Amino acid sequence: MELKQFFTYLLVMAGSTYLIRAIPFALMKKKIQNTFVRSFLHYIPYTVLTAMTFPAALYATNNLWAAAAGLLVAVLVAVRGKSLTVVAACACVSVLIVELLLMQLGQ
Amino acid sequence: MTAKQQFLRGLRFGVPIGLGYLSVSFSFGIMAVSIGFDWWQAVLVSMLNLTSAGQLAGIQIMVHPAQYAAMLISQLTINLRYSFMSISLSQKTEKKFRGIYRWLLGFFMTDEIFAVAVSQKEVTRALFAGLTVAPYFGWTFGTLLGALLGNILPNIVMNALCLAIYGMFVAIVAPDAKKDLKLLTVVGISLILSGLFYYLPLLSRHVSAGLAVSICAVLAAAAGALFFPVRETEGAA
């Protein structure tokens, strides 16, 4: 990648990310009353993370089945209320186990 | 409590967040290097953005030339939640925490830092400043480690670690969706839409992955706001 391209993108990315955090923090003095806007803002983190995870996570490793197993384990561990780190670790270990199993079967 | 005590208190609260970030940003570092970034580029992205989902979407757009509008739209949608957190937290800050302090410390508004800060009765600027230290170092240092060790670790281990960041996303969404049927429905809509954008050739051919996330998220959240409005709550994730 060209450096100019990298830095231009970085500027757009970091600039927008900073401003979307700082402007409301610095300027907001009142509470939002509109129910639609409040509800939309309540749901948006969840819908973003969901759309980012599915189906992209299935193709994040070498093997679709290993990734699917990892994702399933992540959901099962997460609904039991385990912390971010534990969930992430369980997902990774599951992928590793399934990939090793598949390698054994393949031989 | 003096400002110094407040700062130290915040510092202590931030340590578990920092440790969590270390593992997730490690995965980000590996991914960034695996799709063609230099280690210093991955670290710079982490130091200037401090956001998991936004960075992951960002580096996937960066590898294509001239998609600046897509970058802007994806970052604004993905990071819109921070605006809400900023607004929410702005209601709980001490009197002295304003002006330049808000412009400076607003940079550090992440899901986890917000969650800890908002649980305080009153957020002093010293406490908030202390709270940001460990997460920021964890995020930066984890990226560096991932980017450097990514080349050394066996391929199969690297592969497995690529799922860590998604594991974290699941850990944020799944427990709340389990408790709330409305949220589960909204999340389901987002999931189905995202699947359609990926698997329907008509959509996947014409809409880039970064933009597809924004469209799915906005549509699903708007549907949720329309059909399942949230009554007066703190309501932040």
Contacts of B156 in chain A (CB under 8 A): 62, 96, 99-100, 103
User: How high is the pLDDT of residue B234?
Assistant: 47
**Claim to verify: residue B196 and residue B223 sit in the same structural domain:** yes
How many CB pairs lie under 8 A apart between chains A and B?
306
Q: How confident is the model over B40-57, as a mean pLDDT? A: 95
In tens, the pLDDT along B65-109 reads: 888 999 999 999 888 888 878 887 887 888 888 889 999 999 999
Give chain B's length.
Answer: 237
> Do B166 and B192 share a domain, yes or no?
no
Say whether both B19 and B89 belong to one domain.
Answer: yes
Distance CA B80, CA B84 (A): 7
- Whether residue B78 sits in one domain with residue B119: yes
CB B77, CB B218: distance < 8 Å: yes
Instruction: Give percent above pLDDT 90 in chain A.
Output: 57
Encoded amino acid at A46, one letter: Y
**Are B186 and B168 found together in one domain?**
no
Closest by Cα among A77, A37, A91 to B159? A91
- The residue among B172, B197, B215 that closes a domain is B172
Verify whether the Cβ–Cβ distance B166 to A40 is below 8 Å. Answer: no
Q: Which domain holds residue B232?
A: 180-237
Per residue in A47-85, pLDDT tens? 888 998 999 899 988 899 999 999 999 999 999 988 877
User: What six digits make up the tokens of B236?
Assistant: 């932040």
B61 to chain A: nearest residue by CA? A9
Of the ranges B44-48, B108-112, B206-210, which one carries the lowest mean pLDDT score? B206-210
Asked if residue A99 has pLDDT above 50, the reply is yes
Residue B237 pLDDT > 50: no
β-partners of residue B123 are B93
Q: What ipTM goes with this model?
A: 0.87
Under DSSP, is residue B123 helix (H, G, I), strand (E, B) or coil? strand
For residue B230, give the nearest of A14, A39, A55 by CB distance.
A39
- The mean per-residue pLDDT over the stretch B181-197 comes to 97
Q: How far is CA B45 from CA B17, B53, B118, in A?
A: 19, 12, 27
Give the confidence band of B236 by pLDDT, cuts at 50, 70, 90: very low
